[in-house]
Structure formats: structure tokens, C-alpha cells
Amino acid sequence: MASSIGKIVRISIFGQSHSAGIGVVMEGVPAGKKIDLERLRAFLSRRAPGGMPWSTPRKEADLPEFLGGIVDGVTCGAPLAAVIRNTNTKSEDYDELRRIPRPGHADYTAQVKYGGAQDVSGGGHFSGRLTAPLCIAGGIALQLLEQEGVAVGAHIARIGAVCDARFDALRVTADGVRAPGSKAFPVIDDAAGEAMIAAIAEARAAGDSVGGVIECAAVGMPAGVGEPMFDGVEGALARMLFGVPAVKGVEFGAGFGAADLFGSQNNDSYRMENGRVALQSNNAGGILGGITNGAPVVVRAAFKPTPSISRPQMSVDMERGQNAELEVRGRHDPCVVVRAVPVVEAACALALYDLLLQSRSV
């Protein structure tokens, strides 16, 4: 397995949900950059499990320990390396899953590929827990982007059928994209948030789970970042976002909705304003031809409902070669979307910071 990504800023994520620890190596961060470790810890606590009704009850502090790369809060140019110790594992919940794979999780595909040598406990390297080290690297990228005048922030756009307001794709500000992230339940419209919390509670009470959509915007990305065809901004963001477990769809700007529009409705017109080219709408999500156009970059990621549910499900006993019924035990998120909001911010920040540095190296 290799869980690595990036061109100039390269990250490699290691560990399993129930191993001694999980962590990240991050290469290519310029020397001399100030990193506020207190802010990084606060960012990681937005994702950390335990304590909230929409979260798995597994309690982890998720405090990163830096082994290298930062001296007195400033990057020294050496690769950054950080670990988080796993402290609250309960591996017996996974004994039966060695034989009987959970529908919707990676148990079956990992068994086929690694032949039984894979770490099944806690979902092993496939666990959503691996998004904690992604948030270490992404939390750093968020701070580095902020130093470049770029603000990245996300909110829950939808849980099940309950929708939040949308970011104003053209006029959203740096404060506007960051505002939802300062709330315990990161939405724009708190009334919608209450209805989402109720929808999650209802699914959990029914032994079920629910999915949703996260919208993320980056304000301040300069025009001209990205490459045509395969190294475009959409490709880089999508590749990073599809690395996040449970993401099944990614769209930009009007996204799939653009298919319902006429060209006259979908095209973002240009006008001169104070001697500068100004867009009149942002259906493109800030990207044309793979290259940023200076408008906010707007991306949405669709998350499937948590696969581990307590309702009985049809599976197979791979040892005995017969059908089996499975009731998943253990501690699971009834909805992964809430804790995944900082994960989407982290993923987008990493991809955008890497693209920004690439645009300066040519």
C-alpha cells in the first residue's frame, strides 16, 4: 500500500485504526513558515471522535506529536513528521468481520487483495481514522494558504434530505467561508442544522445511518493557477477528495446541475469593473480549462451513509463459503459528514497549496 499524494508538497499517511499510532510525513513545505500549533490542535479537535451525538463514542484526544520539521513553531525545511497515538481501541468488535465482511466497508476488497494479511481491526488502514493525519497536513496547508491571502472553509450542505443554505459562489468572503467552522455543528443556517441533527438521531435510533454533502470554498486564489487537461485544479481536488473514505461524488460550481442549463444560463459573463475583469456569476466554480479564473473555487463532496450499521444485513461467511447474516457491533458514526467537514477543508487546502506552489515554479 502507498497512501501518498502531492507534487511539490507531498504527503504520505501511515498507520491503522488500532495500531500503536497513525501519522503523516509531509515533504516540500518551504523553510521559515510560522505554524501556530495551538490553532492546529483546535482544528484537529473539530474532527476528533467522541462526545457528540452524531459521532462514534470512541474517544481519542488526537494530539499530534511532531517528530521533526518544526523548530520553535517555524518550519526548518526538513520533512515534517507527526504521529497521533491510538489510545481507545476495542479490537474484539472486529473478530467476526475477519470471516464475514461488512457490506459497504472495505473488508471484502481488502481480503481479496491482501489475502487475510490485512489489519481488519477498526477497518485497518481503510478507517476514517486515517483522516486525522490528513488533517494534520491539511491544517498546516490551511495556515500556509492563509499566509498567501487564501481562505478555505466548508459547511454541511445536506444531510439526507435536509439542506443548508449555499455559499454565495461569487461574493462569499474569507470570513464567510470560515464562519460555519467556528460552530459545533458547521452549517450556515442553524435551523437547518437542528433538522439535520434530528435526521441523524432518527437514523441512529433505527439502527441505520445517513449520508450527505459538504460544500467547500476557497476565497483569494489568484487567477492562472492549474494546468490544462490532466493536471487541472478539478483533477487535483477530486483526487485528494476521493482519498477521503466514504466520498462517492465530487462536483464543481454548478456541477451536475449545469447539465440542466442552457449555455446562456450557465456561462459566467465578464464586465470591466474599476479597470479589472470581473465575473458576473460563478457557475464554473472558479475553474475554466483546469485553471483558476480568480472567482472563489467552489467544490462539493457527496458522502455515502456510514456502512457499519447495527441492523441485520446479508453477507457471506468467507471461511465456510456460505451465506450469513451480519449485525455489526462496535462504535460507529451514525453519519460521517459532520466530522468530515474539517477533513474536506484539509484535503482542499493541501491540493490548492500544492497547485499554488506549482504555478510559481514554472
Ligand X SMILES: C=C(O[C@@H]1CC(C(=O)O)=C[C@@H](OP(=O)(O)O)[C@H]1O)C(=O)O
All three cell numbers of 139, joined, read 491544517
Q: Identify which of residues 127 and 358 has a Cβ nearer to ligand X in the complex.
A: 127
The answer to whether 56 is annotated as binding is no
Q: How far is the CB of 12 from ligand X (least distance, A)?
A: 19
Q: Identify which of residues 296 and 307 has a Cβ nearer to ligand FMN in the complex.
A: 307
DSSP codes, 146-190: HHTT-EEEEEEEEETTEEPPPP-TTT--HHHHHGGGGSSS--SSH
Per-residue DSSP letter, 308: -
Q: For residues 321-340, which are near ligand FMN according to CB under 6 A?
A: 332-333, 336, 339-340
The answer to whether 304 is annotated as binding is yes
The answer to whether 331 is annotated as binding is yes
The answer to whether 139 is annotated as binding is no
Asked if 128 touches ligand FMN (CB under 6 A), the answer is yes
Report which secondary-structure segment, H or E, holds 11: strand 10-15
CA separation for the pair 252, 298 (Å, rounded):
6
CA separation for the pair 184, 58 (Å, rounded):
18
The answer to whether 281 is annotated as binding is no
Residues 114, 30 contacting (CB under 8 angstroms): no
Q: Identify which of residues 159 and 219 has a Cβ nearer to ligand FMN in the complex.
A: 159
Asked if 354 touches ligand FMN (CB under 6 A), the answer is no
Q: Which stretch binds ligand FMN (CB under 6 A): 83-91, 200-208, 215-223, 299-307?
A: 299-307
Residues 179, 153 contacting (CB under 8 angstroms): yes
Which residue number places its CB atom closest to ligand FMN? 128
All three cell numbers of 28, joined, read 516540500
User: Contact residues for ligand X (CB under 6 A)?
Assistant: 17, 49, 56, 58, 60, 89, 93, 122-123, 127-129, 132, 245, 330-332
Contact track, ligand FMN, 130-149, x by CB under 6 A: -x------------------
The answer to whether 125 is annotated as binding is yes
Q: How far is the CB of 341 from ligand FMN (least distance, A)?
A: 9
Q: How far is the CB of 136 from ligand X (least distance, A)?
A: 13
Residues 60, 131 contacting (CB under 8 angstroms): no
CA separation for the pair 362, 359 (Å, rounded):
6
User: What are phi and psi for residue 307, nearest 5 degrees?
Assistant: -65, -35
Residues 187, 155 contacting (CB under 8 angstroms): yes
Binding residues for FMN: 125-127, 289, 304-308, 331
Q: State the residues that interact with ligand FMN by CB under 6 A.
A: 56, 105-106, 123, 126-128, 131, 244-246, 304, 306-308, 332-333, 336, 339-340, 343
Binding residues: 47, 125-127, 289, 304-308, 331
